[in-house]
Structure 1
């Protein structure tokens, strides 16, 4: 399956909240690709880096994106035809 940039963004926002999320993402993206997405998501305030925990956290704006992304996915999901 080929992922669109929006699919990748959703995957990053969903996955980075888990400790092993970055390992999972490395299966789909090169380190450079992942870093580029992380930078764009931070610039758009969908993701923040927590220095003390050394982890990324999805912001309210990122959560809102995921909500809309999932709603659109529900609307256009294949119906088994």
Structure 2
């Protein structure tokens, strides 16, 4: 277990559950926050989708249209 000074935790916005990565670079230890990129992107997409009034089905339908053009396979729930 490693304890970081309160000032450092506050400055970098680190909480008790913030995942960190430890890298050993020829005897020099580098400790950095692990940035959950995919999780952050998924949250951003969900917020923007809701703000636009779109459902997940709307996004999938549009994706299919982009992918297949006019020949979009129809699902049973469409």
| TM-score between both structures, scaled by the size of structure 1 | 0.31
**Structure of larger gyration radius:** 2
TM (normalized to structure 2)? 0.31
More helix by share: 1
Q: Which has the higher strand share?
A: 2
Greater relative contact order structure (CA < 8 Å, 6+ sep): 1
